[in-house]
Amino acid sequence: MITHYHGTPIWGGAGQVLDVAVRDGGAFVSYARPDQLNRCLEVAASVALDNGAFSAWKSGLKIDWNDFYRWLEPYYYNPKVEFFCIPDVVDGGEDDNDKLIDLVPFEFKSKAAPVWHLHEGLNRLKKLAGESERICLGSSGEFAVIRTKRWHARMHEAMISINEVNANCKIHGLRMLDGRVLGNYPLTTADSTNLACNVPKTEAKYPSLTTNVRTADFAQGLDEKELKLLILKHRCAVIRNTIEMVRPPTIQQYIQNSAA
């Protein structure tokens, strides 16, 4: 079974659009933007916590990881929290990231998932896969752009390497909820901000979804505010359903298909 984790925050209707996005599903909440974490813990079936390293890297900020673990503590034991991404340096070296794994407090280790960056060595990936119940794959370096020819080749190397040491390792794809990725790789879980980014783009992205609501009989007579909320909720529901219809292959299916 795949859990599709939708990145937050997802705005609209004082939380009503968020409810549509994650109710009985997966929510991915970043330390950099924890705005809606409490609501996600109420309505989602599963919550994963990101360390915020990618957001910090993009903005040039530096995170004090002691602050991160203090933030994590009151949420860690909630049964809906499935895992968290161990602090990492997106463009750092392997030693930098190994040191951060060593610094995970003992009480947080059972839900801690290390991050392997695609520009790092395959030997490190094998080591992490052999030692961990779950690992997170992050696109970085020369593989930062998802779905390029080079990226696909690297992902294939990663899948083969993981299978060699631990075919039962759970694999989380960071920013990999795109169906063209999820449908082709044996990911156990994946996240993206597709809903957060595209639901509000009512005219620029999938405008037919917006038109369908505006012209529907149930939308007639609504005032502007009511219509806007209805459009956002409808778009969120449709886009979420489209994403979650995609099911990845198992690692065994992937290996068999690759050998064919």
> Per-residue pLDDT tens for 82-108?
999 999 988 778 999 999 999 999 999
Higher pLDDT, 260 or 230: 230
Can you tell me the mean pLDDT for 17-37?
A: 97
Can you tell me the mean pLDDT for 211-240?
A: 97
Phi-psi region of 146 (alpha: psi -120 to 50; beta: other; left: phi over 0): beta
Fold of the 3-259 domain? TIM Barrel (3.20.20)
pLDDT band, residue 222 (cuts 50/70/90): very high
pLDDT in the model for residue 20: 98
Can you tell me the mean pLDDT for 55-74?
A: 89
Phi, psi (deg, nearest 5) at residue 221: 90, -5
Can you tell me the mean pLDDT for 108-133?
A: 97
Q: Is pLDDT above 80 for 77?
A: yes
User: Exposed, middle or buried by CB within 10 Å (0-12, 13-18, 19+), for 178?
Assistant: middle
Q: What is the dihedral of CA 18, 21, 22, 24, to 10 degrees?
A: 120
pLDDT in the model for residue 62: 84
Give the model confidence (pLDDT) of 60-69 as tens digits: 778 899 999 9
Q: Which two tokens stand for residue 73?
A: 């503590």
Which helix (H) or strand (E) covers residue 129, if one does? Answer: helix 122-131
Compute CA distances 27 → 46, 95, 109, 114, 159, whole Å. 6, 31, 21, 19, 25
Give the model confidence (pLDDT) of 128-146 as tens digits: 999 999 999 999 999 999 9
Q: Which of 4-8, 87-91, 244-248 has the lowest mean pLDDT?
A: 87-91
pLDDT in the model for residue 56: 77
pLDDT in the model for residue 245: 97
Instruction: Return the number of other C-beta atoms located less than 10 Å from residue 109's C-beta.
Output: 10
**Owner of token pair 């049964």:** 79
**Owner of token pair 């990145």:** 7
Give the model confidence (pLDDT) of 154-210 as tens digits: 999 999 999 999 999 999 999 999 999 999 999 999 999 999 999 999 999 999 999
pLDDT in the model for residue 84: 98
Can you tell me the mean pLDDT for 32-57?
A: 94
Q: Is pLDDT above 90 for 54?
A: no
pLDDT in the model for residue 119: 95
Q: Is pLDDT above 90 for 57?
A: no
pLDDT in the model for residue 133: 97
Strands 170-173 and 189-192: parallel
Query: DSSP readout, 47-112?
Result: EEEE-SHHHHHHHT----HHHHHHHHHHHHT-TTEEEEEPP--TT--HHHHHHHHHTS-GGGGGGE
**Contact present, 26 and 4 (Cβ < 8 Å):** yes
Count the alpha carbons within 13 Å of 106 in the hemisphere toward its beta carbon: 0
Core vs surface per residue 47-70: b (16+ CB within 10 A) or e: bbbbbbbbbbbeeeeebebeebbe
User: Rounded mean pLDDT of the chain?
Assistant: 95
